[in-house]
């Protein structure tokens, strides 16, 4: 629900979006949190289902093609996003371009991918935020 409620607000503000996963395999949703009585969310889900079923591969996403990045929660965000080199590169590119990065619930776990090394020491891109 946190994904689609947020996307509904983004859509109403005039944004379009794509989806990406580390593997390029379909987006896995935690349907136990689905707002069953929200027809606007259900309609948006149906509209976006083709993109959810065939997301982009994260390594193929270029920051320059987007206004920003949104990483929603769900427990899956904690599985492979924190160690994804492709996500780390994308986050650094978005940050360097001054574009927004929005996270929600478990989504901030993906920010760990933006850890880099400087002089052999780990440096977290978002340290101090």
Catalytic residue among 76, 105, 108, 126: 105
Residues above pLDDT 70, as percent of the chain: 99
* pLDDT of 101 over the 90 cut: yes
pLDDT of residue 1: 66
Distance, in Å, from the CA atom of 68 to the CA atom of 2, rounded to the nearest integer, reads: 18
Average pLDDT of the segment spanning 51-68: 96
What span, in angstroms and rounded, lies between the C-alpha atoms of 124 and 89? 13
> By the 8 A CB rule, do 65 and 1 touch?
no
Annotated catalytic, 105? yes
pLDDT tens track for 28-55: 888 777 777 889 988 999 999 999 999 9
């Amino acid at each position: 629900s946190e994904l689609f409620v947020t996307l509904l607000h983004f859509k109403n503000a005039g944004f379009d979006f794509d989806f990406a996963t580390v593997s390029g395999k379909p987006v896995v949703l935690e349907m136990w949190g689905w707002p069953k009585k929200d027809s606007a969310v259900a309609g948006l889900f149906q509209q976006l289902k083709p993109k959810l079923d065939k997301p982009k591969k994260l390594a193929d996403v270029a920051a320059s093609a987007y206004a920003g990045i949104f990483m929603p929660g769900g427990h899956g965000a904690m599985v492979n996003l924190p160690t994804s080199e492709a996500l780390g590169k994308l986050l650094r590119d978005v940050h360097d371009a001054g574009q927004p990065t929005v996270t929600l619930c478990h989504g901030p776990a993906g920010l760990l991918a933006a850890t880099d090394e400087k002089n052999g020491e780990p440096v977290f891109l978002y340290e101090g935020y």
